[in-house]
């Protein structure tokens, strides 16, 4: 017998809710949209740039949402969207997420990640009916630390451009709760992976593509950095749990780490992909990531204890699903 869905993924909870998702052509946003449509929500998605091969457009449920075209930094557009579609719940996943881009071009990263966040939060503040806003921060906001795993009360000490943009995103959400009592919560994840990530300079999609075409696998770092890797479908369920939890006023303004608590070194991840795809592991080590944090790990006891969430996919199970997605995608290119 199939077990009943958890409360935060029950169709009776999400059916006919009006939900606004930013970043819906990205890996997290696209899977979040697809899941919300499956659960019966009325989804409105913000799209800045047309990405015709994105996961959102490749999936039939992605074509069933209302699209708002424009920039997160356009306050009047945010205000119109939230009011016109009578938005109940906001999932803010849009961001410039590529660390080398942030290092080379910090202004565009600061503009989208920081200014875009305060524009959306301000629009939410003055819009009647918004009962929950879930904002994507990152484990990068914690910065470098010898005290691992990070807990939610750890200081935010990011120093590089991308990390600082996430510190600011995080603090803006905290401010809008602390000063205005906006019903908002913050999500801090590690490295999200899964089908739909078309940023090929990232480790997992880049390694899968290289293996698929028989190309040389390149590792941007020296292979030693340790990261939390979490499957996108686990992250989606965590976002749903946190939005559901915002029905409780005592959770307003809270931050939640989301992790399966099994960090791995970059080299190990790349090797496991090669093994599963039947390719020899003979990488080119570029050793170019000198400013990045050496080791990160998250403690997720809080979300498990307060909201009953836990990850459902092992790394190998999720990696198999991810490889299947990319094989189909690359075969159709």
d(CA 326, CA 333): 10
Distance from the Cα of residue 52 to its chain's centroid: 20
Tokens representing residue 60 in the block: 């039939």
Cα–Cα distances in angstroms (integers) from residue 76 to residues 71, 79, 120, 131, 317, in the given order: 10, 5, 10, 20, 43
Among 13, 162, 177, 326, which one carries the catalytic annotation? Answer: 162
Residue that the structure tokens 């958890």 belong to: 6
Which residues are within 8 A (CB) of 152 and not within 5 positions of it... i.e. 6 or more apart?
Answer: 188, 254, 255, 256, 257, 299, 302
Can you say whether the dihedral through the CA atoms of 19, 25, 26, 30 is positive or negative?
positive
258 near 230, Cβ under 8 Å?
yes
Query: Within 10 Å of residue 257's Cβ, how many Cβ atoms?
Result: 28
- Residue 38 has, within 13 A of its CA and on its CB side, a CA count of 14
CA distance 123 to 68: 15
177 is catalytic: no
Cis ω before 149 (30° cut-off from 0): yes
C-alpha dist (Å) from residue 157 to 151, 197, 244, 256, 314: 13, 27, 29, 17, 30
Q: Which of 41, 66, 63, 65 has its CA nearest to residue 52?
A: 63
d(CA 140, CA 142): 5
Catalytic residues: 162
């Amino acid at each position: 017998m199939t077990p009943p869905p958890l409360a935060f993924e029950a169709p009776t909870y999400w059916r006919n809710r009006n939900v606004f998702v930013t970043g819906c052509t990205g890996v997290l946003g696209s899977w979040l949209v697809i899941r919300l449509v499956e659960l019966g929500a009325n989804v409105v998605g913000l799209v800045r740039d047309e990405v015709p091969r994105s996961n959102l457009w490749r999936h039939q449920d992605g074509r069933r949402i209302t699209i708002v075209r424009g920039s997160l930094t356009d306050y009047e557009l945010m205000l119109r969207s939230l009011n016109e579609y009578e938005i109940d719940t906001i999932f803010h996943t849009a961001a410039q997420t590529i660390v080398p881009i942030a290092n080379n071009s910090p202004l565009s990263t600061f503009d989208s990640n920081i200014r875009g966040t305060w524009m959306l939060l301000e629009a939410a503040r003055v819009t009647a009916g918004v009962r929950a806003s879930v904002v994507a921060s990152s484990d990068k906001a914690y910065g470098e630390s010898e005290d691992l795993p990070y807990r939610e009360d750890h200081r935010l000490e990011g120093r590089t451009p991308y990390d600082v943009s996430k510190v600011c995103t995080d603090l803006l959400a905290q401010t809008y709760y602390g000063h205005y009592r906006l019903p908002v919560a913050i999500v801090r994840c590690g490295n999200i992976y899964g089908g739909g990530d078309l940023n090929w300079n990232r480790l997992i999609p880049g390694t899968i593509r290289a293996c698929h075409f028989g190309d040389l696998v390149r590792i941007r770092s020296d292979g030693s950095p340790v990261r939390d890797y979490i499957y996108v479908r686990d992250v989606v369920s965590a976002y749903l749990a946190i939005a559901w939890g915002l029905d409780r006023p005592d959770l307003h303004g809270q931050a939640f780490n989301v992790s399966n608590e099994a960090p791995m070194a970059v080299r190990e991840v790349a090797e496991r992909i090669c093994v599963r795809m039947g390719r020899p592991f003979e990488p080119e080590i570029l050793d170019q990531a000198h400013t990045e944090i050496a080791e990160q790990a998250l403690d997720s006891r809080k979300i498990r204890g307060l909201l009953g969430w836990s990850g459902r996919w092992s790394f190998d199970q999720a990696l198999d699903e991810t490889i299947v997605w990319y094989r189909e995608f690359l075969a159709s290119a």
